[in-house]
Structures are given as C-alpha cells and as structure tokens.
Amino acid sequence: MKKRLWWGIGIVVVLLAAGGWWFWRNAQSPLKVSAGKVSPLSMQEDIYATGNVVPNTRQDVYALNPGLVSKVSVKVGDSVKTGQVLVALDQTLANAQVAQAQANVDAAQAGVNAAQSNITELKQAQNAVQSSAATAGAAQTGAGTVNISASNPAAAGSAVPSALSSSGLGSSVHQAEGTLAQSQAGLKQAREALQVAQVQRDQFIYKSTLDGTALEVNAQAGNPAPVQQPLAVVADLKHMNVQMQLNEMDAAKLKVGGKVTVTSKTLGSTSLTGVIAKIAPEAVIQPSAQGNASPTVAVTVRLDQAPALLKPGYSVTVQAIVAEKKHVLAVPLESLFQEGSKNYVYRIQNGLLQKTEVKVGIGNDTDQEITAGLKSGDLIVLNPTNQLSQGQTVTPDLGSEGA
C-alpha cells in the first residue's frame, strides 16, 4: 500500500511539473496577432437610410359642413384635372338661401333706382322754378321802377310764391339724397349677404386643386358625408418625394441640395437619383419598440424621376455621399477600440504593442480615416481583444499582405 501511494504521489508531481513548464513556455512565446499596414487610400463617407415614397403634392378633401352626398364624380384610380368636381353635397337649403339673398339684392336695387329717380324729378322741378323766377325778374327790370305794392299787386303775387317753391324743392332734394344714401348702403349689405350665401353654397361642392390621380374616394352618393375620413384624396404621382427619419448625427452631415441615390426591391437593379429638398429645423422624439426615446430629424428627398412602378407608401433605401477624400490615412474599422470618448489602436513596434490614441475623420462601412496618431507604414493589430495590453510581445501575422 505504501509503495502504491508513493507511485501516485510521484505521478502527480511529474504532471504538475510538466503542466507548469508548458504554461511557462507558452507564456514566454510571443502571441500571434493579425496585423496590417497603415496606408493612404481614397474613401467616401456614406449615409444609408430607409424611407417611404410620398407624392410631392397631395390634396385631402374633407367636408367643411355636414350634409348628404348628392354626387360622386370620380373613383379610385381616375385621372383628374384642376377644378374638376370630385364630390358634391346636397345644396337644397343653400340654394334657397342664395335665392333669398338675391331677392334682397333685387329689392334693394329697386329702392336705389326709385330714390335716384325721385332726386332727378325734384331737381328738374327745382330748375324749372328757378328758371321761371329768373324770367319774371328780368321782365320787371326791363319795365323800370315799379311800385309793386301799390301799382302792380299782381306782379308781387307771382314773384313771392316762386321764391317759396324754390326753397321748398331744395329741402326735398336734400331729403331725397339722404334716402338714396340709405338705399345704397342697404344695397351694399344685401350684395355682401349674397356673396356669403354663394360662398356657403360653394362649400358643398368639392373640386380638385391639382392635376393628379384619385387615391381614395370615401364618399357615397345618398349617404352622409364622412367625418373622420376625407371625402377623396388626390395626388400628383408624376412628382414623388421620399420621407425619412434620421438620427441627429447623420442628419447633421446632410445639406439641402445634396445628391442622393435611391434603390428599391421593386425597381430591382435600377436606381434613381434625387436631391435633398428639406431638412426639418428640429428633432422629434420617436419612441422605440423597447420604450426608449431617441431624437430623429425628418428629411425630404425629391426624386428626379418617378417611374410608375414606384407607388406611394413603398419603402426605399437612400444613399447619400456626405464626404469624399483622396489619399488619406485610414484603418479598418475593426482595428479601433474605444475607452471613454477616445479612440485607440494597438501599434506594433519592435514586436511590442503600443496603445496609441488616434483622431478620426470620415468613415464608411469598412474603413475610418485617421487624422492624427499614425503615419503611413505603421503596423497595427486588426482585431484587438481584451487579452492584449500595452508592452505585450506579439508576432504580427500579415496574411496575404506579408507574403
């Protein structure tokens, strides 16, 4: 039993010694790491986003007043022209109100005409009286000095009434002019009331404000006009936009007027071109599915052409080139790692790792521009892991680059 025990202890000691030597040997061996050389290249920074196709111009026709639909002039898919009637509501009451307002205008106009005629007649009578008085005065002047009160009482009797009649007619003309002014004011009010009644009647007729296609028709003749839905929707399908929501970092890199490329599964390999037409002046908080809120900025792209295959509501992908540079130092994205807000790479110098802070510029899906911290020809670790540390001995594996 003692002999077997010593044999067991001996085997354990040998195994421990062998394991310790293996770990010591491997600890002293340089770690092989995938590496690459920093070199200048031409690169561009792209932003990719998804969006939805929307018409550039769209008219949603809602009923301004409740009423019964009397006529529907279009159906979904119809082409319509500007000014074409889409839907009409019952106008029976509105027509009656217009007719009453028109009758009031006619009555007021008749009052104005009568007042004007009265003034004309009074002025004619006044002129006749004044003319007669002037003639009588001239006759008396030609006969010399006459003692009217004693020698010619008849002449006195004719002159005095004429003066009185002229004064009375002047007062009547003044009153008639006041009546005309009131009649004209009443006519103006009646005409304004007629215009209001006509506008209200016209609000029961809904017309297209653009040349386009009827996308929706929710009104049905004989039924009440829908309240929650538009009566009809018309859109210009020849001129289309793309609306998308971008995070604040990407939106800040875009400029109005910038060119973009638009692709879609519907279009296959065909791509479209467009221009950034509008960038919203503020970010909006959009709740995510996880409940986290993140600010996004609405961006509108105007398409240069809109093929018939591209329907409103379709999903598309937008690519915007936001920066282009030639002969800049760049490293693969996977070679970078962050600590706090700083970017680092592991640079290999004389077989030792040097943790090096770098400044970055533009980037794309594969590479990142380095503006400070490295120079052309520097050797860096391509896929740094947590096992690496400052000053560690490594063996660079350049792959095909080092062959």
165 within 8 A of 142, measured Cβ to Cβ:
no
Q: What is the pLDDT of residues 341-398, one digit of tens each?
A: 899 989 988 888 889 999 988 877 788 888 898 888 889 989 888 888 888 888 888 8
The neighbouring-strand residues paired with 355 are 346
Q: Is the pLDDT of residue 230 over 70?
A: yes
In whole angstroms, give the CA distance from residue 52 to residue 116.
Answer: 67
Per residue in 282-295, pLDDT (tens digit) is 998 876 666 667 88
Q: Does the residue 119 lie in any domain?
A: yes
Instruction: Return all residues near 126 (Cβ < 8 A) that are at least 6 apart.
Output: 166, 169, 170, 173
Please state, in angstroms and as integers, the Cα–Cα distance from residue 300 to each residue in 56, 104, 323, following that order.
10, 53, 20
Please give the tally of structural domains in the chain.
4
Supply the CATH number for residue 369's domain. 2.40.420.20
| Tally of residues, the chain | 403
State the Cα–Cα distance between residues 191 and 181, nearest whole angstrom.
15
Q: H/E/C letters for each residue in 134-172? A: HHHHHHHHHCCCCCCCCCCHHHHHHHHHHHHHHHHHHHH
Determine whether 258 is exposed, middle or buried from the number of CB atoms within 10 Å of its CB (0-12, 13-18, 19+). middle
* Rounded Cα gap, residues 340 and 166, in angstroms: 107
Is residue 251 within 8 Å of residue 107, measured between CB atoms? Answer: no
Which pair of tokens denotes residue 389?
Answer: 């540390």
Tens of pLDDT, residue by residue over 69-78, are 999 999 999 9
Residue 267 phi/psi, 5-degree rounding, is -90, -5
* Same-domain pairing of 100 and 183: yes
- Using 50, 70 and 90 to split pLDDT, how confident is the model at 17? low
* Helix/strand/coil for 111: helix
Residue 66's domain spans which residues? 58-88+204-233
Which of 76-80, 181-185, 190-194, 367-371 has the lowest average pLDDT? 367-371
pLDDT above 90: percentage of residues in the chain = 39
101 and 178 inside one domain = yes
Domain co-membership, 282 together with 136: no
The pLDDT tens digits for 28-54 are 578 888 888 888 888 778 889 999 999
- The pLDDT, as a whole number, for residue 135 is 76
Same domain, 134 and 263: no
- Verify that 273 and 353 share a domain, yes or no: no
Is 259 in the same domain as 301?
yes
Determine, yes or no, domain membership for 116: yes
pLDDT band at 262 (very low <50, low <70, confident <90, very high): very high
